[in-house]
Amino acid sequence: MNQTLPQSASLPHHKLIAYSLCLERVQLVVRVRVANAHLRAQARKSAASAALNCAEGAARQTRADKSRAYAIALCECCEACAAIEIAGALGACAAADVRAVVALGTRTKNILSRLVR
């Protein structure tokens, strides 16, 4: 996150590296120039949903509820990456952008996978 929040204003998801990575991926996906409008919208929606579900998981109380929200965030993370990969395969975005999104998605997936358990 670019902003530093006062400790008293901190929310549960602000403590999660996974949330920071999800938020970073949202920003990256928005910067990627995807010529296909459907894939662009899907990538953005899935990236945002991953961040939202990650934040929801942080606020949940039971382990089962947390795990369910983190599992959904993991699926959305993969979906956002897939949308960009498909756009790349169609020639609708640059290969360098695909690599950047997949690299960040892989880091996010690795952390979310640990939270799901």
Measure the CA–CA gap between 110 and 26, rounded to whole angstroms.
17
**Tell me, what's the pLDDT at 11?**
93
The whole-angstrom separation of Cα 68 and Cα 115 is 10
- Tokens 């901190």 correspond to 10
Between CA 16 and CA 59 the distance in angstroms is 11
With a CB cutoff of 8 Å and minimum separation 6, the contacts of 17 are 111
pLDDT on residue 96: 98
Residue 2 has pLDDT above 70, yes or no: no
Check: CB of residue 34 under 8 Å from CB of residue 84: yes
* pLDDT at residue 67 tops 90: yes
C-alpha 90/C-alpha 105 separation (Å) is 20
Q: Where are the beta strands (DSSP E) in 49-112?
A: none
Q: What is the pLDDT of residue 1?
A: 45
Contacts of 112 (CB under 8 A, 6+ apart): 18, 54, 70, 73, 74, 77
Instruction: For 74-103, write each residue's pLDDT tens digit.
Output: 999 999 999 999 999 999 999 999 999 999
Tell me what pLDDT residue 117 has. 83
Question: What CATH number belongs to 11-116?
Answer: 1.20.1440.60
